Amino acid sequence: MMPRTLYDKLWDRHLVSQREGEPALLYIDLHLIHEVTSPQAFAGLRERRVSVRRPGLTVATLDHSLPTHDRALPIADAVAAKQIALLRANAEAFGIPLHAPGSGRQGIVHVIGPELGLTQPGMTVVCGDSHTATHGAFGALAFGIGTSEVEMVLATQCLLQRKSKNLKVEVSGRLQDGVTAKDLILALIAKLGVGGGTGSVLEYTGEAIRALDMEARMTLCNMSIEAGARAGLIAPDDTTFQYLRGRPFAPRGAAWDAAVADWRALVSDDGASYEGSVHLDGGAVEPMITFGTNPAQAVPVTGSIPAVSEIAAPEREAFLKALAYMGLEPGKPMLGRPVQAVFIGSCTNGRLSDLRAAASVLRGRRVKAGVRTLVVPGSEAVRKQAEAEGLDEVFRAAGAEWREPGCSMCIAMNGDELAPGQTCVSTSNRNFEGRQGRGSRTLLASPLTAAAAAIAGAVADARRIP
């Protein structure tokens, strides 16, 4: 048999049919839904008078438009409240389990899937959300879909797909102390460019990847889409199995042993061929921060914004437009740029290890006066564990806000947003114009760098804070 890549194997396992001249019909093992991209899909089902084919392969939560203030308060935005009520009603009507606020299991869709053991190696996982790539950290083929495809999966449990290009991303060496998976992915996107992975599936391999824990692997895979990739993949290993064992929806007993034996086959064969490959020296990656309006516009936090002469001629106009929007100048250092807000959270960096990292910087220190600092756990489970460890006290004592789980200021459609012109160091994944509110300016970075910025009131290096 021809040597196959991990992607080939996942593809082959889910092939329902492949008819001449048509895209393949691919079976979907796990469908995650949330309030924003599902209402029109359910409306479509009703119009066609079909039910959800496999409600037991679908799971719902509330995250995007849900406010992160005290849950006892009503949802002030009537439009958001209606959207949230509609997901509750649709889940009820179609028999889909919903992890609602107060259940102990609500959270950002890409945080709760893994946390509950729903996401497992070898699965196909989809969600009406581009950061579904997160779940690829488990060796699952996971990608974002639009609402028409959400409707397709609800109705048929399948998708019509053409196979993507498969690129190998090898990261050698070891990340230095103070350098995180967020820095690694920002460095990688800077190297690939925002369109560098368009339409492809990236498989991350190499010593530096093997050394990452599951939460770091999720951070890495999460942002694959920011290089344009459909999905990111990491072959499952003992780190994966240890993370999953004992989680509520992970197999148990003999079924667990059988599953692990099966999952061990989910590696790319020696000699399997990819359409391309990229290499990065993990040991050379520095803490990174973005300066522009797309995630590829990033430099080391101790570095400078490129000079105009360093930018290729066709890119110059976009570069200058981005800097004008950001209120920044070419050639200037990033350290010391004033910031008015800090956001620690999101499906990229809203997990326990991220909060621990932020707390390690904030412990015993104070947020600079006037810098609004939001710490938003990715899920109710993360929130509970963080409180058990006293992290909430660290954040509050430092002067940060400790909020309820949700997408919060990653997307600014739930009440958490910046004022026009404000600059925020954010642990989220997109620095597009207006992403954190109209006229907002986002600098993407790791939780360590974000926490350091909160203390300094400016871009700062977490390795050198007074």
Partner 1 sequence: MKPFEPFDSTLAILPFDHVDTDQIIPARFLKTTTREGLGAHCFADWRESPDFVLNRPESRDAQVLVAGENFGCGSSREHAPWALLDAGFRAVIARSFGEIFRQNAQKNALLPIEVDEATHRRLVEAPVGATVRVSLEGLRLPGGGVTAFPLDPFRRACLSKGVDEIGFVLEQEDAIAAFEARRSRAFDTRAEA
List contacts with ligand SF4 (CB under 6 A).
63-64, 108, 110, 129, 131, 346-347, 407, 410-411, 428-429
Using CA atoms, how far apart are residues 154 and 150, in angstroms rounded to an integer? 6
**Of 282 and 437, which CB lies nearer to partner 1 in the complex structure?**
437
Using CA atoms, how far apart are residues 290 and 408, in angstroms rounded to an integer? 20
Helix (H) / strand (E) containing 15: strand 15-17
Q: Which two tokens stand for residue 140?
A: 């699952």
Asked whether the beta carbons of 33 and 127 are under 8 A apart, the reply is yes
Asked whether the beta carbons of 34 and 129 are under 8 A apart, the reply is yes
What residues contact 340, with CB distance under 8 A and at least 6 apart? 370, 371, 372, 418, 422, 423, 424
Which region among 148-156, 172-180, 210-218, 354-362 touches partner 1 (by CB under 8 A)? 148-156
Q: Which residues of 61-73 are buried (b: 16+ CB within 10 A; e: fewer)?
A: bbbbbbbbbeeee
Site for partner 1 in 92-111 (CB under 8 A): 95-97
Shortest Å, Cβ 432 to partner 1: 4
If binding is defined by CB under 8 A, does position 398 make contact with partner 1? Answer: no
Size of the site for partner 1 (CB under 8 A): 81
Shortest Å, Cβ 345 to ligand SF4: 7
Shortest Å, Cβ 295 to partner 1: 10
**Of 322 and 444, which CB lies nearer to ligand SF4 in the complex structure?**
444
Site for partner 1 in 33-72 (CB under 8 A): 36-37, 39-40, 43-44, 48, 50, 53, 55-59, 64-65
**Of 64 and 372, which CB lies nearer to ligand SF4 in the complex structure?**
64
**Of 194 and 211, which CB lies nearer to partner 1 in the complex structure?**
194
Using CA atoms, how far apart are residues 185 and 219, in angstroms rounded to an integer? 8
Site for partner 1 in 331-350 (CB under 8 A): none
Site for partner 1 in 207-246 (CB under 8 A): 228, 230
Site for partner 1 in 412-451 (CB under 8 A): 412-413, 430, 432-435, 438-439
**Of 5 and 429, which CB lies nearer to ligand SF4 in the complex structure?**
429
If binding is defined by CB under 8 A, does position 21 make contact with partner 1? Answer: yes
**Of 129 and 151, which CB lies nearer to ligand SF4 in the complex structure?**
129
Quote the DSSP letter at residue 138: G
Shortest Å, Cβ 276 to partner 1: 16
**Of 6 and 355, which CB lies nearer to ligand SF4 in the complex structure?**
355
| Residue 428 binds: one of ligand SF4, partner 1, none (C-beta under 5 to 8 A by kind) | ligand SF4
Shortest Å, Cβ 200 to partner 1: 9
* Closest residue by Cα to residue 143 from 184, 197, 83, 63: 197
- Mark out the alpha helices in 95-210 (DSSP H runs): 109-115, 147-156, 181-192, 207-210
Asked whether the beta carbons of 298 and 190 are under 8 A apart, the reply is yes
Phi-psi label, residue 139: left if phi above 0, alpha if psi -120 to 50, beta otherwise: left
Shortest Å, Cβ 378 to ligand SF4: 8
**Of 67 and 300, which CB lies nearer to ligand SF4 in the complex structure?**
67
For every residue of 181-240, DSSP letters joined together read HHHHHHHHHHHH-TTTTTTEEEEEESHHHHTS-HHHHHHHHHGGGGGT-SEEE----HHH
Shortest Å, Cβ 155 to partner 1: 6
Q: Which residues of 299-336 are buried (b: 16+ CB within 10 A; e: fewer)?
A: bbbbbebbeeeebeeeeeeebeebbeebebebeeebbe
Query: Which residue from 162, 312, 313, 364 is in contact with partner 1, where contact means CB under 8 A?
Result: 162
Which region among 114-122, 205-213, 340-348, 356-364 touches partner 1 (by CB under 8 A)? 114-122
Shortest Å, Cβ 183 to ligand SF4: 18
What is the pattern of x (binds partner 1, CB under 8 A) and - over residues 299-318? ----------------x--x
